[in-house]
Chains A and B, each alone.
Chain A
Amino acid sequence: MGEVDTKGVVLLDFWVSAFGQRCRIALAEKGVEYEYREENVLADKSPLLLESNPVYKKIPVLIHDGNPVCESLVIVQYIDEAWPHRAPLLPADPYARAQARFWADFIDKKVRPPYADASHIDYSAVCSQHSLMVSFMYQFYECGTRLWKLKGEEQAAAKKVFIRILMRLEGELGDKKYFGGDAFGFVDVALVPFVPWFYTYETCAGFSVEEVAPKLVAWGKRCMERESVANALSDPHKVYEFAGVLKKRFGVE
């Protein structure tokens, strides 16, 4: 692997990618020094990316001592296991771990479009892992994407689904400080990078996340008090601008 030292940690990422941000948060929580490399996903993919992730050719990719790890939740679990002595992201108890993995998987699940892809725009061809939509967060992301991509009846339908997802998450969070309880953990890392996207979803589809899921909004603010999260997440207005760029590029307007 010519371009990178065989020692050390490199993260191939894209500034606004929620999936990349999961990895950044995990690395920060663990206090791991790493080199951040921006991939311009709107342009050609770098040789390093193609070599490190030949299966999906997408960011984020974590390269540790020359070994590439792909898929954001796989990366986060890897970070948790490779640096086990600080800030555990998964709880010790197997049942609690199963719950955490379930909800993170839920968040990721239906990001992949169904076989007969109903997406009007192959946003996936452009933006990082956005084609991989499967599981709640996937559905969440896909659904969120529909909120700003679509119009009229389709958007209204997407809004309904999205609100249902928010309420499901609100229910799971309940009155806990974080999804896993008192400690910031895996599910929080999986979900929190989508919080800056709420503004875009709300503005495009005309609803208020706070009205539907006030506990979730409060949780998002609590997470932002953590340096790892505050440093990783995009500004909601920049996210909105970015969505605008994509909309123009793919002729949604």
Chain B
Amino acid sequence: MDPPSSLKLLGSWADSHTHRVQLALKLKGLEFEYQEEDAINPSPALLLHNPVYKKVPVLLHSDRPVVESVVILQYIDETWADNPIMPADPFERAVARFWCHFAEDKLAPAVGAVFSSSGEGQKTAVDQVHDNLKLLERELRDGAFKGKRFFGGDKIGLLDIVLGCGSYWLAVFEEVMEVKLVDPGTFPVFHAWLKDFEEQNEVKETIPAIDKLLEYARGIRQMMLSLSNGTSTTAPAAAGTTSAINVAVDGRSG
């Protein structure tokens, strides 16, 4: 096992992609140094180690950077073999990767759209979240994940980490936007999985307290509303707002 100081994570406290990496490192029992990054003012280290995207998270292992959270998770899993987060079977791995892609490609943007829209646009966004959750619910109930406690089986795996770190925004947005996203009646299996996931010790240690997330989300929502109302917001703040939302929800820069 490498000495603890060989791992360093550049991240942002409210960024779900950062949480994914923190959770994976915790599950593997790996110590690491953490450096907080500001999305609006990236550090020289971030720019050096992620020149392509200039975003968190970046995992430095003996000063070599690994970038993109799902790539990082697989790197961690392949470098430290104990407590595997990927299944061993190739087909199960393909299923996990597919749903990770779905989470990034369909679910996260839909959730982000709920937050950044209003009126009719928001209704459409909420419908899209529901459509996507239905697909997941079906897979949990009748498909590849039927009868499992977690997507990874008895223990948390890659897909739990990817979906779970981000799903807390659902509750936050429900409160801030006053919309219903995860109705336990409509999505009983997903809802049960999420509650179970959030109760795990490593998860509780990773995800920020809900009131901090609420405060953060409310702040961004305020900024967005004042932007769309044309009230005084400077260009950098506007860029920062978009950047912050994107970082928080799906880790991309738009």
- The CA-CA distance from A165 to B157 in the complex, in Å, is 34
- A95 with B68: CB separation less than 8 A: no
Tell me how far the C-beta of B141 lies from the nearest C-beta in chain A, rounded to whole angstroms: 14
Residues of B within 8 A of A27 (CB): none
Nearest CB of B to A92, in Å: 10
User: How many B residues face the partner with a CB closer than 8 A?
Assistant: 32
Does A98 lie within 8 Å of B72, measured CB to CB? yes
| Contact of B72 with A78 in the complex, beta carbons under 8 Å | no
Cα A94 to Cα B78 with chains together (Å): 6
Q: Which 7 A-B pairs have the closest CB atoms?
A: A81-B90, A94-B78, A78-B94, A98-B75, A82-B90, A74-B97, A101-B71
Q: How far is the CA of A136 from the CA of B53 in the complex (A)?
A: 10
- Expressed in whole angstroms, the Cα–Cα distance for A71 and B71 within the complex equals 16
Residues of A within 8 A of B102 (CB): 55
Q: Is A75 an interface residue (CB 8 A)?
A: yes
User: Is A77 a contact partner of B64 (Cβ separation < 8 A)?
Assistant: no
Contact A97 B74, CB 8 Å, known A55-B102, A115-B112, A134-B105: yes
The answer on a CB contact under 8 Å between B97 and A67 is no
**What is the minimal beta-carbon distance from A166 to any residue of chain B, in angstroms?**
14
Nearest Cβ on chain B to A140's Cβ, whole angstroms: 13
**New A-B pairs, 8, CB < 8 Å, besides A97-B74, A101-B71:** A69-B95, A78-B93, A94-B78, A94-B79, A98-B75, A105-B71, A112-B109, A136-B52
Distance from B54 Cβ to chain A, minimum over Cβ atoms (Å): 13
Interface string of A72-113 (1 = CB under 8 A from B): 001101100110000000000011011001100110000010
Task: Decide if A251 is an interface residue (CB 8 Å cutoff).
Answer: no
Residues of chain A lying within 8 A (CB to CB) of residue B66: 95, 98, 102
Shortest C-beta distance, A185 to chain B (Å), equals 15
- How many A-B residue pairs lie within 8 Å, measured between CB atoms? 72
User: Is the C-beta of B67 less than 8 angstroms from some C-beta in chain A?
Assistant: yes
Assess the B101–A71 pair: CB atoms within 8 A.
yes
Asked if B189 is at the interface (CB within 8 A of a chain A CB), the reply is no
A114 on the B face (CB < 8 A): yes
A70 to B78, CA, bound (A): 23
CB–CB B71/A102 < 8 A:
yes
| Chain B residues at the A interface, C-beta cutoff of 8 Å | 52, 61, 64, 66-68, 70-72, 74-75, 78-79, 90-91, 93-95, 97-98, 101-102, 104-106, 109, 112-113, 116, 135, 252, 254
Judging by beta carbons under 8 Å apart, are A94 and B97 in contact? no
The chain B residue with its CB closest to the CB of A134 is B105
- Distance (whole angstroms) from the CB of B97 to the closest CB of chain A: 5
Q: Which of A69, A78, A112 contacts B105 (CB 8 A)?
A: A112
Indicate if the CB atoms of B74 and A69 lie closer than 8 Å.
no
Nearest-neighbor residue (CB-CB) of A94 within chain B: B78
Contact B71 A70 (CB under 8 A): no
What are 12 pairs between A and B in contact, CB < 8 Å?
Answer: A55-B102, A55-B135, A64-B91, A74-B94, A74-B101, A94-B75, A94-B78, A98-B72, A98-B74, A101-B68, A101-B74, A115-B116
A95 and B52 contact, Cβ closer than 8 Å, known pairs A55-B135, A69-B94, A105-B68: no
Chain A residues, Cβ within 8 Å of B95: 69
